[in-house]
Amino acid sequence: LTFPLLSVTLLVSFGSSMLYGYNLAVVNSPAVHIKTFYNATWSQRYGHGLAPGPLTLLYSLTVSIFALGGLVGSLLVGVLVEQYGRNGALSRSALLVLLAGGFMGFSRELGSPEMVIIGRSITGLHSGRLCTEPSSGLKIAPKNLRGFLGLVPSIFICLGVFSAQVLSLPELLGKDRFWPLLLSVVVVPASLQLLLLHCFPESPRYLLIERNDVCGTIKALHRFLGTPHVEDVIEEMKEEQRSLSSMETVSVWQLLQDRSVRWQTLSVVVVNAGMQLSGIDAIWFYTNTIFENAGIPVSQIPYTTVGTGAIEVVAGLIGCFTIEKVGRRPLIIIGFCAMGICSAGITVSLLLQAALPWMRYIGVACVVGIIAGFCIGPAGVPFLMTAELFTQSHRPAAYIVGGSLNWLCNFTIGFIFPFLQMSAGAFCYLVFCGVCLLVALYVYLVIPETKNKTFMEISHIFA
């Protein structure tokens, strides 16, 4: 693994995956302060405050609008990458983050809750590429390193979540007057990515397949792989290019109608929808509320949350460094099973904590188990599988399908979870338990192991 290849993977992940993770968790801690701001602004405008129901609805929209922005971004990213390449698309999306940071950072000064919601939707627009474009290193990595580089973005998602949790501590930006700054910190990694992207060449696969620039492809491969012997990689790309010349890139509708890839398509649908419907977004968006309901003292909740963030980073590292030894299937099956069992454990702990006060700690352990299980496999393997299960002609449409489902399910959970929690109480986590166990069973029965196989070999296995 060469330094340039690792560097560009880290840079892209830092400015994309880390921001995604940060925006998932950043609205958790300042929820009380943001609701207070919404209520005060509403009172100034209309002479009366918001009732609890409409206030919850408005805040749920603030949380979940991020996913709607992501959905729109996932539909646009293919056009941007095709027209401007990886570097051009990333530069333009980084500029969006700077705009979003401005909206959120000045929202309180201007007395505008709408600016918070607009800023959240724009950050989602930027993050839309995460579910529709594989890791930059993944496109040119040797097959024995594809799993490792494919899970690097999931580590940065965990780091983004952890960063939001640390900055939300009362000693840092967790006070009422700092919440606009906390939301607008996203401009820092976006600015760094914007400044450093020009140091790296364009994606070799884009140069060869989209631009037919053989010389540029060879130079980029020499830089990324650190070896003059790139003939095998060039030949694999040319083979893919030849197959594309005789076969048009399929649309989403054509993909859904193509019986030859129906099991691959169904697999993408199951793992991407299952990743979000597993309840992980509810955990990240509403961690403080969950811990408060579990009986954790309010003063200890921020530090408990940071502890869970540290554990998820460790779990992400474990998944990243073991995927090429263990394989994709075991990691995703173990991850979903752990999440399902822990979701059921939260229900049990909430039902029994009145009689057994120590059950609150079981509830915390189950939350940690859900996050750790997610970061070990389900956080990154679905993106990797979407890249590996299809050849180039079907891959863009597969990413649109998987990404759209990912963001729609993300929005659904973020929006309805507070209401689900109010109506079903402790039993709402059993829904997530069922989803996790069913996805694990599907992967076990249907999806083959893709470790150390080329994209064409994987396609032949399904065929």
426 near 294, Cβ under 8 Å?
no
Superfamily holding 9-200 = MFS general substrate transporter like domains (1.20.1250.20)
pLDDT > 90? residue 197? no
pLDDT 10s digits, 303-312: 888 888 888 8
350 near 425, Cβ under 8 Å?
yes
pLDDT 10s digits, 163-188: 998 999 989 998 888 999 999 999 99
pLDDT grade, residue 407 (50/70/90)? confident
Report the range of poorest mean pLDDT among 29-33, 238-242, 378-382, 424-428: 238-242
pLDDT value for 34: 93
Which residue has better confidence, 22 or 227?
Answer: 22
* Average confidence (pLDDT) over 304-329: 83
Superfamily holding 251-462 = MFS general substrate transporter like domains (1.20.1250.20)
* Average confidence (pLDDT) over 42-54: 87
pLDDT value for 422: 80
User: What are the residues whose beta carbons fall under 8 Å from the beta carbon of 39, sequence distance 6 or more?
Assistant: 49, 50, 55
pLDDT 10s digits, 285-297: 677 777 877 777 8
* Average confidence (pLDDT) over 14-35: 86
pLDDT value for 78: 63
User: What are the residues whose beta carbons fall under 8 Å from the beta carbon of 261, sequence distance 6 or more?
Assistant: 255, 390, 394, 462
User: What are the residues whose beta carbons fall under 8 Å from the beta carbon of 283, sequence distance 6 or more?
Assistant: 290, 367, 370, 371
pLDDT value for 179: 93
pLDDT > 80? residue 4? no
pLDDT value for 232: 76
pLDDT > 60? residue 131? no
Report domain extents, the chain.
9-200, 202-246, 251-462
pLDDT 10s digits, 109-127: 999 999 999 999 999 888 8
Query: Residue ranges of the alpha helices (H) in 226-261?
Result: 231-245, 252-257
Which residue has better confidence, 294 or 274?
Answer: 274
pLDDT > 80? residue 2? no
Whole-number Cα distances in Å, 65 to 40, 123, 208, 309:
22, 10, 37, 23
pLDDT 10s digits, 338-368: 999 999 998 898 888 878 888 888 888 888 8
Average predicted confidence (pLDDT) for the chain: 82
Task: Tell me whether domains 9-200 and 251-462 share a fold.
Answer: yes
pLDDT value for 383: 77
pLDDT > 90? residue 325? no
Residues of the chain above pLDDT 90, percent: 19
pLDDT grade, residue 146 (50/70/90)? low
pLDDT > 90? residue 327? no
369 membership: H or E segment, kind and range: helix 359-376
Query: Residue ranges of the alpha helices (H) in 389-427?
Result: 395-424
Give the range with max mean pLDDT: 1-5, 90-94, 247-251, 397-401: 397-401
* Average confidence (pLDDT) over 2-13: 70
Residues of the chain above pLDDT 70, percent: 87
pLDDT value for 130: 64
* Average confidence (pLDDT) over 183-201: 85
Degrees, nearest 5: CA angle 345-428-311: 45
